[in-house]
Structures are given as structure tokens and as C-alpha cells.
Structure 1
Amino acid sequence: MRRVLVTRAREDAERTAEELRRRGFAPLIAPVLEIAATGAPIPTETFDAVLATSARAIQFVEGLAALRAPFFVVGGKTAQALSARGAQVEASAPDVAALTLLLGARFAAPARFLYLAGHDRKDDLESFLRARGHAATVVETYEARAVAALGEEARAALAAGEVEAALHYSARSASIFLALADAAGGPATLRARVTHFALSEDVARVLRAAGCANVRVAAAPDQASLLAALEAQ
């Protein structure tokens, strides 16, 4: 049974591990990030809409239903989480690019947005809002902190050459994983023999730049495509 390293934050990694077992793989959870609430307060002023690009961004927010503005979000999971907490979800888009198209069509005139986000994020949505003359209040509701070291089981498996594949979901987490593996005295096989599966080309570039010889990129930036690439290997 192929042993697959999962580097996601623990809560997400547990769900991925279940899916890997269902597909006949042996998952090894090795989180390189810890998710923590920032405790940032939510403004009480009036907004035309609230934006969220991940379910994680609303996980630590209290009083979501009290925000009277409609929510425009990315992902069905984010929409479901909001609806379950009594928030008004106006629309859900599959990705940020689709969300910007939706907002462009819905808000022709400058508007005021509240954007619930993580500390580490791409600037695509904020750049779009600025370019269109919108006012955006960004509240960073959570941050993903790098762990101090890889878990003992992961270190032992890497040292013994038992890991055949590793799943990487972001450029940052891939970079952190490689640094932690090096700090733990990771063997050369980590880069030469382990097959690294990247969620996107951005993630793959980090792996290749670090000398990983076997890098595969998911056909689309979602877990289903990432696991499909793993199964096809």
C-alpha cells in the first residue's frame, strides 16, 4: 500500500486522509501549518456586501447573521457554512476569477465591501476592487502559522524512505515542508524519489526550485484533481 504524506493543517488533513484510505492509500498526516484565530473585531458599519473566499475565513467570526449585507463567496463549502449560521448568501462562485466577474456585473458603481480573509492570501480580489474604485475593509480573521517541526512519525518515515508521495496544497506550505524536512535531516530521496503532487503550477514551481525531481500538477486546483493525479501515477 502506497504511503502518502499529507501536509495540510490537521483538520483538513484528517478529511483528506479518510479519502486516501477509501482509495487504497496509506496516509501519513504531517501538518506544516496550524490555523489560529486572530481575534480581529468585525466592524459594525454598513456595507453593500460581505466577501469571503474560504470557509476558514468565517470559522472564527461571531455574529455573522448580524451582518445585514448579502454575502458573495467562493466555494459551496463556504456558502453552506454561512447558511448554517444564519447568514444571507447572495451568490457563490467556484473561484476568485469567477467572483470578480460576478461582482463586476452586480456592482457597476463604487460600493463598500467587507472582506473576511486570512492573513496569507493572494491579492487578486483586492486588486480587482481597487481597480474598480470600490472601498474594501479587510478583516483578517485567521492566520496559518508554521509549525516548529515535523511530527516524529513523519520524520521517521522520511528517514526510512517509506514515503512514496506527498500532497502539497499551497506554495507557502510546500516551502515550509521542505525547510522542516531539511532541518530534520531529511534524506536526498525526499527530492529525488518522492513524487510530489502540487495543487497548482504556483505550488509546483516552489518544489521544482527546491530540486524536487518528480513533480506532478493537478489538472485543476481542487482536491479531486489532485487525488486523480495521484491515482494515475
Structure 2
Amino acid sequence: MRRALVLRGAEDALRTAEKLKSLRFTSVVSPVLEFGATGARVPPGAYDAVLASSAKGIDCAGTDTEPYKALPLHAVGAKTAKGAVERGWRPDIVAGKAEAILPLLLARYPAPVHFLYLAGRDRQAALEAGLRGAGHAVTAVDVYEARAAEALSDEARAALAAGEIDVALHYSRRSAEIFLRLAASAGLAPQLGRVVHVALSKDVAAPLEAAGLSVSCAQAPDEAHLLKAVAALL
């Protein structure tokens, strides 16, 4: 059976591993990012709506958000919306990515309003910039952060060294960059050329391609299309 290297956090990686079984892959899990709460407090404010682009934002905000649960919550991604429901929120607008939710928000709020954004420390600025550019106020609170792992897992290093990894799945540009650095520090950079690399988007693929690796990209930036790209390579 083929082996896939899954570079997500442990919880997400387990779900991905189950999906890979249907493609006849066993998974080698090696999280390159470790997520945790920053401890940042949500400042009291006269907010009109709440934004979350990750379920981690909902989880890590803690009890500071209790006064705002009656407000509309707008979520990037079905997983974020599901996590919000489990925490007692009632999601309103839900879209698959920041670029998709922005025009929906601008249509919903033609006049300036104040958004509370439960955010990660490392994030793309498009959503906030688009809202502020339309005259809205955005209070972004970095309630969680992704810390780089110090090494690949023992299983991943052994499998790469033995040439036993057939495909590696890459979900973010930052995680791809960290993966390359960790592989190099373990002396495994030469082995990466034997692996089929599949990236969530062209942006994610960029550092891999810069390292001279051949990369296939998903046709849309979600896991379903990422796995379709893996299946297409079989």
C-alpha cells in the first residue's frame, strides 16, 4: 500500500488519514505547525458582528466572547461554522475562503459596522483590508497562533530516508516552508525529489517549486480537491 505524508496538526491529520484510506494510502503524520491559544483578551466593544476564519479562533477565544454570542457570526469554512455551533454560536454567512466571504459581507453590510475578528496571529490580510477599505471597523484579536515544530516526526524521518513516502500533502505556504527547513536540517532534502508533492494552491506550491520540486496543485483550495489531485496521480 502507498504511503502519504500528512503535515497537518494531529487532530486534522487523523481525519485526513481516514479519507486517504479510500485511496489505498496509509498515512505518516508529522505536524509541522502546532496550534495554541495566545491568551489575548477580547476587548469589550460595541460590535455589530463577529468573524472567524478558523474553528481554532472560536475555541481559543474562551469566555471573553460570551457577551457577543447573540451577534451574527460569519465563518470562513464549514468546519469553522460547525465548531461555532458546538460552542453555542449561530453562524450566519458561511463561505469556503476569505475571498468568497468578503463580497457577501459587503453586500450584507452596505453601511459601516464594527466587526470583531477572532483571528490567528499569522494570517492573510485580504479579508480585513477589504472590509476596512469599504469603511468598516475591524477589531482583530490574535486569539491563537501556529508555532513551527522543531523536527519532523521519527516515523516521517525514517520513511523519507528509506524512500517509502509516495506523496506529501501540503496545506499552507508556511507549513511547506517549515517542512522544507525541517527536512533539510534532518539531511533529507535529497530524498524529497522522490516524493510526489500535492499542494492546496499555487501559493502553497511556490516554496516547493522554488526548491526545485515538482508539485501538483488542487483545482480549488480545499481538501476535497486536494485529495482529487492525489487520486488523479494514481
Q: Which TM-score band applies after superposition, normalised by the shorter structure?
A: over 0.9
Q: Aligned runs of 1:46-195 on 2, under 5 Å?
A: 46-63=46-63, 64-67=65-68, 68-190=70-192, 192-195=193-196
Alignment partners' CA distance in 2, 1:157 and 1:26: 12
Deviations 1:96-140 (A, max 9, x none): 122111111111111111011111110100110121111110011
**Counterpart of 2:71 in 1: which secondary structure?**
coil
Q: Give the counterpart letter for 2:60 in structure 1.
A: F
**Counterpart of 2:62 in 1: which secondary structure?**
coil
- Report how far residue 61 of structure 1 moved: 2.0
8 Å CA contact 1:8–1:32 kept in 2: the answer is: yes
Q: Give the counterpart letter for 1:3 in structure 2.
A: R
8 Å CA contact 1:7–1:29 kept in 2: the answer is: yes
Q: Aligned runs of 1:1-80 on 2, under 5 Å?
A: 1-63=1-63, 64-67=65-68, 68-80=70-82
Q: Give the counterpart letter for 1:160 in structure 2.
A: A
Q: Give the counterpart letter for 1:138 in structure 2.
A: A
Counterpart of 1:221 in structure 2 is 221
TM-score by length of 2: 0.94
**Counterpart of 1:8 in 2: which secondary structure?**
coil
TM-score by length of 1: 0.95
**Counterpart of 2:61 in 1: which secondary structure?**
coil
8 Å CA contact 1:200–1:221 kept in 2: the answer is: yes
8 Å CA contact 1:65–1:88 kept in 2: the answer is: no
8 Å CA contact 1:158–1:187 kept in 2: the answer is: no
- How many corresponding residue pairs? 231
Alignment partners' CA distance in 1, 2:91 and 2:144: 21
Alignment partners' CA distance in 2, 1:70 and 1:181: 43
- Report how far residue 94 of structure 1 moved: 2.3
Alignment partners' CA distance in 2, 1:132 and 1:82: 26
**Counterpart of 1:42 in 2: which secondary structure?**
coil
Q: Give the counterpart letter for 1:179 in structure 2.
A: R
- Report how far residue 189 of structure 1 moved: 2.7
- Report how far residue 187 of structure 1 moved: 4.6
**Counterpart of 1:56 in 2: which secondary structure?**
helix
8 Å CA contact 2:180–2:189 kept in 1: the answer is: no
**Counterpart of 1:140 in 2: which secondary structure?**
strand
> Which consecutive residues of structure 2, in runs of 5 or more, have no partner in the other structure?
none
Identity %: 52
Q: Give the counterpart letter for 1:150 in structure 2.
A: L
**Counterpart of 1:207 in 2: which secondary structure?**
helix
Cα RMSD after superposing both structures: 1.3
Alignment partners' CA distance in 2, 1:227 and 1:90: 28
> Which consecutive residues of structure 1, in runs of 5 or more, have no partner in the other structure?
none
Q: Give the counterpart letter for 1:155 in structure 2.
A: R
- Report how far residue 44 of structure 1 moved: 2.2
Deviations 1:71-109 (A, max 9, x none): 111122212221222223222122212211111111111
